[in-house]
Amino acid sequence: MSLMSGQVLRHNPDAISLDALRWRPPGLPQHVRVHRATTEQLAGLGWIEPNDSDPTGAKSFLARAAAEQLEAHHSKVVLHPAVGHANPRCARAASAKLNSHATTNSAQLWTSLSRCAPFIVVATAQTPVGVDLEALQTPDQATDLVTLFHPDDRGALMTLREDHFVHEVTAAWTRKEALLKAWGTGLLRDPAVDAVGTHHHPDQPHGWATLSAPSTIAGQTYYLGLAWRTLS
């Protein structure tokens, strides 16, 4: 489906703006879409209502991204959020949110959302999906974070030089969070249970795919993590 087709533009006047916000990391299948924006960008597009219960515009952004893939107007999309609870042994409690889904009268789409100031990232897919965005960890942050990993991953990561270590830990954590969101457990599931491998050699659970992709914006490096159920 082309974003520029008359059909899509007729049903979704936000299509051109969404295309400019689309993030296309290598290896992403066609049925999974990712969009990234700041609250300032969303406000500039007029996507944050004055009385919006979410002043960041994240829900409005997610609804518009889902509408684009469903070929519908965003006003016709109903978001059905799923709220997770944190695993008490994991300090990153704020990240324990599950995937959710969006519907119109005739279609359903899986969705996921991640916030990492100043960015909001949304993912939409025809199958369960999870997304996570993290700023590159400092050495101290990465050393603390790696203690939450599967023993195999922890062992492999701890052998790396510091400059590689912080990148690999950040990338692996985004894949882990994305996978747990896609599974619908969030951090209710102990993050040490499942190995995710390294950035260049990720472990792929049967029936699922994951990826991590770096992006440097205004001198700051971020890692995007994605997980989705494969179609076949």
Residue 87's pLDDT band (cuts 50, 70, 90): very low
**Rounded mean pLDDT of 80-103?**
47
Residue 202 pLDDT exceeds 70: yes
Residue 22 pLDDT exceeds 50: yes
pLDDT at position 72, please? Answer: 83
Residue 220 pLDDT exceeds 80: yes
The pTM of the full predicted model, rounded to 2 decimals, is 0.84
**Rounded mean pLDDT of 175-188?**
92
Amino acid at 171: A
Residue 82's pLDDT band (cuts 50, 70, 90): low
Strands laid side by side in the 129-135 sheet: 129-135, 220-229, 208-217
pLDDT at position 5, please? Answer: 28
Residue 4 pLDDT exceeds 90: no
Q: Is residue 29 part of a domain?
A: yes
pLDDT tens, 143-177? Answer: 999 999 999 999 999 999 988 999 999 999 999 99
Q: Is residue 1 part of a domain?
A: no
123, 24, 229, 119 alpha-carbon torsion, rounded to 10°: -30
Q: Is residue 117 part of a domain?
A: yes
Q: Is residue 198 part of a domain?
A: yes
Q: Report the candidate in 68, 6, 77 with the shortest Cα–Cα distance to residue 35.
A: 68
Average pLDDT, the chain: 83
Q: Is residue 152 part of a domain?
A: yes
pLDDT at position 12, please? Answer: 58
- The domain in which residue 113 lies consists of 6-229
Q: How many domains does the chain have?
A: 1
pLDDT tens, 60-75? Answer: 899 899 988 988 888 8
